[in-house]
C-alpha cells in the first residue's frame, strides 16, 4: 500500500512538473530595431535616429498576440519603453519611437506610427507572433496616433495593408479631436477644439476594428479628454460600429490612469481573441 502511495505521489509530482514547465513563459527584449526599411528613398539622420522600436516577446511561445505601443509626450517629447504593466502577459509588446515636433510637422509622426505598424505586420511572425493578432495602443499622444493609424485607412493602405486587419485599437487618454500640437502648428490654441481630417473623430466608421476608449476621471483629466472620448464613443455607435467600449477611471488623472487601463486592455485582448476563434 505504501509503495502504491509513493508511486502515485511521484506520478502526480512528475505531471505537475511537466505542467508547470509547459506554462512557464520566458521573454526576450530586443532594442533599437530600425523600421526605416518600410520607407522608400533616402533617410536623413533624424529619421535614422528616431525611427526605431523595441520588441519584448515570449521567446518560447508561438502564435501570440502583439501590442504596438506608442508613448505619450504631446508629439513633442517622450521615449519608447515597454510599460511594466504590459509585461509578462503572454503577448509581445512593441514600443515605438517616432519623429517629434518641432523637428518635423504633421503628418510625419502619424506616418512614422503607420510605418512601425507595417513593420510589425511584416516581421512579427519571424519572432513567433501572429499578424492577425496585432493590437495598436498608446497613451495620450500615443493614443491619438493609435486611433489615427487604425481609423484613417489611408496611412496603412499606401503599404498595401487594410487597417481593418488590426485586431483592436486601444487608446489610453488619446485625443479624438485634432491633436493640440497639430492645432498649434496651424496657429490654433490648445483650448480651441478642431475636428478635421487629422482628428480620429473625422474617421468614424462602422467597419473599423474593435475600439476600446479609456480615460482618467473626467474631473481631473486633461482638457476635457473624457468628454471627447465619450463623443467618439457615441458617434461610433451612431454610425453602426458595434464593438466600441468606453471606460472612465474614477480617481485617476491623465498620467496615473495607465495602470488600471492596462488591466482593461488585457481583458479586451482576451475577449477579442476569443471571439476570433468562435
Q: How far is CA 7 from CA 4, 14, 17, in A?
A: 5, 10, 15
Residue 19 in domain: no
* pLDDT score of 12: 53
Residue 20 in domain: no
Q: How far is CA 77 from CA 71, 73, 99, in A?
A: 9, 5, 9
* pLDDT score of 277: 83
Closest to 257 measured CA to CA, from 21, 45, 72: 72
Residue 232 in domain: yes
| Range of the structural domain that residue 169 is part of | 26-277
* Regions in the chain scoring below 70 on pLDDT: 1-23
Residue 16 in domain: no
Residue 13 in domain: no
Residue 3 in domain: no
**Total tally of structural domains belonging to the chain:** 1
CATH number at residue 271: 3.40.50.1820
Residue 10 in domain: no
* pLDDT score of 16: 53
Residue 6 in domain: no
Amino acid at each position: 500500500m505504501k509503495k502504491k502511495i509513493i508511486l502515485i505521489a511521484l506520478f502526480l509530482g512528475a505531471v505537475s512538473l511537466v505542467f508547470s514547465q509547459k506554462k512557464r513563459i520566458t521573454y526576450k527584449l530586443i532594442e533599437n530595431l530600425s523600421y526605416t526599411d518600410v520607407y522608400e528613398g533616402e533617410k536623413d539622420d533624424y529619421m535614422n535616429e528616431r525611427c526605431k522600436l523595441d520588441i519584448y516577446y515570449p521567446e518560447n511561445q508561438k502564435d501570440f498576440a502583439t501590442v504596438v505601443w506608442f508613448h505619450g509626450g504631446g508629439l513633442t517629447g517622450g521615449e519608447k519603453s515597454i510599460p511594466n504593466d504590459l509585461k509578462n502577459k503572454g503577448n509581445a509588446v512593441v514600443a515605438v519611437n517616432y519623429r517629434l515636433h518641432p523637428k518635423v510637422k504633421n503628418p510625419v509622426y502619424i506616418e512614422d506610427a503607420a510605418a512601425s505598424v507595417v513593420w510589425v505586420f511584416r516581421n512579427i511572425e519571424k519572432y513567433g507572433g501572429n499578424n492577425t493578432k496585432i493590437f495598436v495602443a498608446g497613451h495620450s499622444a500615443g493614443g491619438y496616433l493609435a486611433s489615427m493609424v487604425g481609423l484613417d485607412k489611408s496611412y496603412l493602405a499606401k503599404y498595401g495593408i487594410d487597417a481593418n486587419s488590426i485586431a483592436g485599437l486601444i487608446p489610453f487618454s488619446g485625443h479624438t479631436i485634432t491633436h493640440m500640437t497639430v492645432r498649434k502648428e496651424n496657429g490654433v490654441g490648445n483650448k480651441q477644439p478642431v475636428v478635421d481630417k487629422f482628428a480620429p473623430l473625422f474617421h468614424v466608421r462602422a467597419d473599423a476594428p474593435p475600439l476600446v476608449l479609456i480615460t482618467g476621471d473626467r474631473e481631473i483629466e486633461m482638457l476635457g479628454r473624457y468628454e471627447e472620448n465619450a463623443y467618439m464613443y457615441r458617434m461610433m455607435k451612431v454610425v453602426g460600429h458595434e464593438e466600441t467600449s468606453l471606460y472612465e477611471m474614477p480617481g485617476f488623472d491623465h498620467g496615473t490612469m495607465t495602470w488600471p487601463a492596462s488591466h482593461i486592455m488585457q481583458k479586451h485582448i482576451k475577449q477579442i481573441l476569443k471571439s476570433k476563434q468562435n
